[in-house]
Amino acid sequence: MGSSVVKIVLSGYYGSDNSGDEAVLQSILFALQEQSEAQGIQIEPIVLSANPEKTSAMYGVKAYHRMKPGPLLRALREADGLISGGGSLLQDATSSKTIPYYLAVLKLAQWLGKPAFIYSQGIGPVGRPMFFGWIRSVFQRCAYVSVRDTESADLLGRMRLPRERITVVPDPVMGLPLRVNGAAVGAPGAGRTVGVSVRFWNEDRSELEALSRSLALLLAAHPDVRLRFLPFHLPSDEVASQFVIDRLGDHGSRVEMARGVVHPQDMLAQVAACDLLIGMRLHSLIYAASQYVPMVGISYDPKIDQFLHRLGMKAAASTASFDAEAFAEEAQRLLVDREQWAASSRAAIDELKAQAQLPAQRIVSFYKQKAQK
């Protein structure tokens, strides 16, 4: 490698003010740091970001623009390897351009002779079979492939990637420790706080209309409860949150929104201060689990169901089917039984936290063995 420092490029949806993806980045950075210290290898991360200056200032790392060919190529040339992930990078539900971009970055690294690692990715949905062969071809040349659920592994299997090449691990954010930055979480006081993370999905907003009815029922049944909306993707989730708030009518005095929260540690602190988390965003649910906060999930994508399944839970509603009364009943049950839920879920959560370190452990070990040869 020509140096005692191992430089690794991190490729993902970073620098776009999405708290969930920022949490993925910080989780990987923390895990690499912890494993490099444990194994005696110095790792220098280089992040591909939509906002390199902001990413560099936020995490203290070198960053290059993810969409500019010159800086991207420069990053790969100076690095000793590439990490792709985590998150749902290889899916074509949001755009047909997403899969080609992330595979092109991987392919470029491989052309340059750099080892490539797939870090706890959620694969799919992939609705265009033309991508299957390309994904298989690129993944077969990767030094390590890990995915965040068995459904992703099964999808890769249908693409004819050998199952023995795939490791199933938790989402990296399960391993994110809470290191308080001093950010204000809200004034302490009597009562309980229910965090709410929503996004737009249905064009007719029917799922948010139903959620508004559920929240009104929850507030009416529990006068000590306050709602704190937690927008994970700015600015769109702030608009979605306000849509719901506007429909709560007389309950408005017991509702607030955490605005402009981007740093993962600040959002994790917000979630940790809640007594219950109601979430559409995957990483809002993962944050809650990592802090032993009971959660009520609203599924808009299989990744929500896949994560909840690992905790022995199911989504209480989906964007396709939302019973407002039943949802409110489930929220009230978990709010009342918070301590019992935390106690019964602790072993499963702790196991996921430990397993979340495995990809970083394997990657650092790869370079340690290489240095010893």
Sign of CA dihedral 294, 299, 304, 309: positive
E-only strand ranges, the chain? 5-11, 42-49, 62-65, 81-87, 116-121, 144-147, 166-168, 192-197, 225-229, 255-257, 276-279, 295-299, 317-318
| Amino acid 29: pLDDT | 97
| Amino acid 190: pLDDT | 62
Q: What is the C-alpha separation between 228 and 195, in angstroms, rounded? A: 5
Which is it for strands 144-147 and 166-168: parallel, antiparallel or unpaired? parallel
DSSP class of residue 172 equals G
| Amino acid 187: pLDDT | 45
- Residue 50 neighbours by CB distance under 10 Å: 17
Q: What is the C-alpha separation between 117 and 99, in angstroms, rounded? A: 16
Domains of the chain: 5-169+356-372 (3.40.50.2000), 192-349 (3.40.50.2000)
Per-10-residue mean pLDDT of the chain, 373 residues long, equals 80 92 96 95 97 97 97 97 94 92 98 98 94 97 96 96 96 90 50 97 98 97 97 96 95 92 93 98 96 97 91 96 98 96 96 96 96 84
Q: What is the C-alpha separation between 101 and 109, in angstroms, rounded? A: 13
Sign of CA dihedral 92, 95, 100, 105: negative
